[in-house]
Structure 1
Amino acid sequence: MTLSIPASATATPSRRWLAFAVLLAGAFLPPLDFFIVNVALPSIAQGLRATPAQIEWVIAAYAATYAVFLITGGRLGDLFGRRRVFLAGMAGFGMASLICGLAPSPSVLIVGRVLQGLSAAAMAPQGLASIHALFPEQERSRALAVYGAALGFAAVAAQVLGGVLIAADVFGLQWRAIFLINLPIVAAVFLFGMPFLPDTRSATPASLDRPGVLLCALTLALLVVPLVQGRELGWPWWLCLMLLSAPLVTLGFWRHEAALERSGGTPLLSPQLVRSPRLLAGLLSALFFYVVSAFFLTFSVYLQDALGASPVVTGLMFVPFGVGFLVGPLTTPIAIRYFGRWVPTLGMLLEALGCLILAITVGFSAASERPALVPLITGVGLLGFGQGWALPTLIRSVIDRAPSGGSGMVSGLVNSALQISAALGVAVFGGLFYAVSAPTHSPATLGRGFIAALLGIALSLGLSALLALYASAPRPDSPKSP
């Protein structure tokens, strides 16, 4: 694939890294806004009088929109230039953050989150795609390491930052500050970063699969809407019909993608590409893996509504997860040396063990009393450490299964699968949490709801671990180790 790059964008190493720093802002903001909102959910529920289903939508709407349009966002950069699409996405993200920050009702906030997801899908892929255009081969590994560290830091810092911003109550904004803080970052990009941004694009860009995107969005909507709203609305017939229609629309999506591929087009998801059973198992593993997103929702609500913890304390309770998530990847090379292809599976099993420790700890504590701190920290830390082992190695093992020339599409697919997993995790296990804790939402019922969600997440992680182990098995034609 040939890329046109202005000479000014690659003239000096310092200019390359300045351009990359600007692009990193577009990679940093999407995970920041996915995680930062978790600590604020009880405050949002109280401030806007939001129902449990509306609180689930604050997370699920963002994750689902981001997932569906992520691959399309990358193709838009190839077609129209990554600089243009990045800046359009950044501007849209700023406007969406303003809508969220000023939202007078839960419905407006959810619309703002959908717009945030759309904008994030436009700007986030441009940074990763530009690494090959900006850096010579000897510098790319360092750039990729910085890119991964930025994503990890965003996930880690978001929880604490959210708690601090709410507690500080700057200008009386309370939870609104977690969205409005994006505006200075967006303004800085436009004021100081634009001169450094290169204009790169693909010489042979893939066409947009508009029907595929619409069918994929419809499939996800037919799943997520009933799962989030069903419990609250009493499962009316039209929601049941939506859920039953999802497999039919999925089949229609698959047939459209196959027909487009046969006609020489570029589908959103290549049926031929994922025909390999082990590659398909890897993508399914990713689909079951990121349901851990529901942990952030349920743990935050449990801490604040059941135990009366402040937003700052709640944010600090996520620190062990962040520490584990940072330490995990640092020890991955050693783990691979001793455990090989078992590392993703072991990471997921460590996460499941963390869930079980938390469930037992909460189960043995009194309803409104804080559980024992040491096992609580241990469980949260294991969740983070296990994810630090599993996430990068799972992505790498799936991409390694891609046939020649298909790694780009598989990379997009696995990242979309992770975001879809996040949306479904919140819908399924967030819904389970609220169903078990209803109707009183007392400390005792919230504790039982949290335990139920943890057990569900652990079960899903166990299934993901088995799929990952199957997906990473050596090919029959690969040479055996002596």
Structure 2
Amino acid sequence: MTHSNQAKGSLDPRRWTALAILLTGAFLPPLDFFIVNVALPSIREDFHASASTMQLIISSYATTYAVMLITGGRLGDLYGRRNVFLAGMVAFAAASGLCSFAWSPSVLITGRILQGFAAAIMAPQALASINAIFPDHEKSKALSFYALTFGLASMAGLFLGGTLIGLNVFGLGWRSIFLINLPVIAIAAPAALVMLRETRLEHARKLDLGGAMLIALALFALISPLIEGREQGWPNWSILMLSASLPLLLLFWRYEQKVGAAGGDPIVEPRLLQVPGLKRGLFSALFFYAFAAFWLTFSVYQQGGLGRTPFEAGVAILPATVGFVLGPFASGSILRVFGRYSAAAGMTLEAAGLFATAALISFGTPEYLFVALFFIGAGQGIALPNLVKTVVQRVDPARSGLVSGLVNSMLQIGGALATALIGGLFFSILGSSSDAGSIGHAYSVAAVAIGLCLLIAGWLSADLPLNNNVHR
């Protein structure tokens, strides 16, 4: 099956300009997750809100985003990636406006849910469109820019949030972190309308609403307690929801099989997961994003163990940022040397950096952490584009939206699992202690656990060929 509006062998002359627009859609969702983390103290002071309300401001966005990614990717396949990308952008701008003018915590939480929904519609179209409009020999370079954007968004959020709140432009305080999205989208949306080529399934059918609702319900039952449960001491509702997630996933799978057998168009085609290496690649993405737990644990170590301010902690992470910027640009050379083991090489380098941080802290020499942080960032920058390419390219570009949604969803689930499990391990080891030695020890154990997850991800990705017979 081919994608419409693009003849085989043709090249879109505006594809690199289109990439810059698409990367806006990849940049905003992770930016808005991390930028709000920095603003939470100001929001709490303004609304006199409880800690549980503050957690909801974060988790409502993260949960909605992760739950809706698969459906968002499928919408692009069916109704056109440019159309869905634009709809997601406009909705994201409207939700950001609601957040910025929120007059109560409940309104802000509502805005965050709408932001998460819009982000899940918008984000998969960027990766899917890259796979659809770029020829094979240019995809590595395009995906390197995608990986760079994806990673820099999280790091930029930590700096931009503090800067905007500190400057207090027009007395807006924390509200400016949402308003900043509006001029960006005001420029990107009209440009997308003009510059993006429409791609979609050639013989698109209607959305599988039953499948969409079941997968959303199953993922909500899995992800929501992982995000909220640890913060609340694993209450009964979180255990019940986790217990229900597997039966719901099985029910979804049986439903999709029935839809396919009846000649329908399931939201996740069962035969798609039979593509050689696809399941292995998705599980690699799951373990790969255990790295999300690093941001939590290392932040606590820097501020609690080393006594750094949030700004000083942000400056200290710059070597990782530099490594992440340089890593994707080295992907081409890494690919020529390591071939199909390129993603594994990046993950191994990243794991080595994490092990090095644990060793440096254990030996009492944190002043050399900048070297290890550089290798962590470089490894992440090398691994991400190579992993994404080997997974997304396994299917026909017409179904890139679905696979992009699957990849992003696995990354989000992996991040939620790691934050809950490795974060839980970190706080269990730390207990009630607050001295630098105890925090350093707890971080070191967590860093080793994250590194081991990365090595598993590298092993899973190691046997995935870069070029595969495309499933159509």
Is TM-score (shorter-chain normalized) higher than 0.5? yes
Separation of aligned partners in 2, 1:408 and 1:92: 19
Question: Structure 1 pair 91/271, CA: closer, same or farther in 2 (3 Å)?
Answer: same
The residue that corresponds to 1:397 in the other structure is: 390
Cα offsets for 1:448-475 (capped at 9, x unmatched): 5433432332232222222222445999
Question: Structure 1 pair 142/336, CA: closer, same or farther in 2 (3 Å)?
Answer: closer
Match among 197, 200, 217 for residue 198 of structure 2: 200
- CA shift at 1:172, angstroms? 4.7
The residue that corresponds to 1:360 in the other structure is: 359
The residue that corresponds to 1:430 in the other structure is: 423
Judge which range, 447-456 or 39-48, deviates more.
39-48
Does the 8 Å CA contact 1:87/1:123 hold for their aligned counterparts? yes
- CA shift at 1:359, angstroms? 2.5
Question: Structure 1 pair 98/449, CA: closer, same or farther in 2 (3 Å)?
Answer: farther
The residue that corresponds to 1:251 in the other structure is: 250
The residue that corresponds to 1:187 in the other structure is: 186
Does the 8 Å CA contact 1:163/1:315 hold for their aligned counterparts? no
Separation of aligned partners in 1, 2:130 and 2:461: 28
Does the 8 Å CA contact 2:88/2:119 hold for their aligned counterparts? yes
**Helix, strand or coil for the counterpart of 1:96?**
helix
Match among 413, 416, 428 for residue 420 of structure 1: 413
Separation of aligned partners in 1, 2:188 and 2:466: 44
Separation of aligned partners in 2, 1:384 and 1:83: 32
Gaps of 5+ in 1: 366-370, 478-482
**Helix, strand or coil for the counterpart of 2:90?**
helix
The residue that corresponds to 1:219 in the other structure is: 218
Cα offsets for 1:356-375 (capped at 9, x unmatched): 2222333444xxxxx6232x
Does the 8 Å CA contact 1:86/1:126 hold for their aligned counterparts? yes
Cα offsets for 1:387-435 (capped at 9, x unmatched): 1121111122223544897666434422321232223333333344444
Matched, 1:384 2:382: no
Separation of aligned partners in 2, 1:137 and 1:227: 38
Match among 363, 366, 387 for residue 372 of structure 1: 366
Q: Residue type matched to 1:70 in 2?
A: L
Question: Structure 1 pair 443/42, CA: closer, same or farther in 2 (3 Å)?
Answer: farther
Q: Residue type matched to 1:338 in 2?
A: V
Separation of aligned partners in 2, 1:261 and 1:21: 37
Question: Structure 1 pair 102/316, CA: closer, same or farther in 2 (3 Å)?
Answer: farther
Matched, 1:465 2:458: yes
Separation of aligned partners in 2, 1:382 and 1:65: 32
Separation of aligned partners in 2, 1:49 and 1:127: 38
Question: Structure 1 pair 441/262, CA: closer, same or farther in 2 (3 Å)?
Answer: farther
- CA shift at 1:342, angstroms? 2.4
- CA shift at 1:158, angstroms? 3.4
- CA shift at 1:219, angstroms? 2.1
* RMSD over aligned Cα atoms: 4.0
Separation of aligned partners in 1, 2:432 and 2:44: 16
Q: Residue type matched to 1:360 in 2?
A: A
- CA shift at 1:260, angstroms? 1.8
Separation of aligned partners in 2, 1:159 and 1:86: 26
The residue that corresponds to 1:456 in the other structure is: 449
Question: Structure 1 pair 255/404, CA: closer, same or farther in 2 (3 Å)?
Answer: same
**Helix, strand or coil for the counterpart of 2:308?**
coil
The residue that corresponds to 1:297 in the other structure is: 296
Q: Residue type matched to 2:382 in 1?
A: W
**Helix, strand or coil for the counterpart of 2:265?**
coil
Q: Name the % identity.
A: 47
The residue that corresponds to 2:67 in the other structure is: 68
**Helix, strand or coil for the counterpart of 1:269?**
coil
Q: Residue type matched to 1:271 in 2?
A: P
Separation of aligned partners in 2, 1:130 and 1:102: 33
Q: Aligned runs of 1:274-353 on 2, under 5 Å?
A: 274-275=273-274, 278-353=277-352
**Helix, strand or coil for the counterpart of 1:272?**
helix
Does the 8 Å CA contact 2:144/2:385 hold for their aligned counterparts? no
The residue that corresponds to 1:230 in the other structure is: 229
Q: Residue type matched to 1:311 in 2?
A: P
**Helix, strand or coil for the counterpart of 2:273?**
helix
Separation of aligned partners in 2, 1:323 and 1:17: 24
Question: Structure 1 pair 275/449, CA: closer, same or farther in 2 (3 Å)?
Answer: same
Separation of aligned partners in 1, 2:212 and 2:249: 12
Question: Structure 1 pair 409/156, CA: closer, same or farther in 2 (3 Å)?
Answer: same
Separation of aligned partners in 2, 1:404 and 1:232: 40
Matched, 1:3 2:4: yes
Separation of aligned partners in 1, 2:350 and 2:231: 30
The residue that corresponds to 2:270 in the other structure is: 271
Does the 8 Å CA contact 1:28/1:150 hold for their aligned counterparts? yes
**Helix, strand or coil for the counterpart of 1:213?**
helix
Gaps of 5+ in 2: none
Does the 8 Å CA contact 2:59/2:228 hold for their aligned counterparts? no
Separation of aligned partners in 2, 1:108 and 1:358: 41
Q: Residue type matched to 2:302 in 1?
A: L
The residue that corresponds to 2:116 in the other structure is: 117
Cα offsets for 1:270-294 (capped at 9, x unmatched): 2222135632121111111112122
Does the 8 Å CA contact 2:148/2:381 hold for their aligned counterparts? no
- CA shift at 1:382, angstroms? 1.7
Judge which range, 59-68 or 130-139, deviates more.
130-139
Does the 8 Å CA contact 2:73/2:402 hold for their aligned counterparts? no
Does the 8 Å CA contact 2:351/2:455 hold for their aligned counterparts? yes
- CA shift at 1:118, angstroms? 0.9
Separation of aligned partners in 1, 2:52 and 2:438: 17
Q: Residue type matched to 2:4 in 1?
A: L
Separation of aligned partners in 2, 1:465 and 1:197: 37
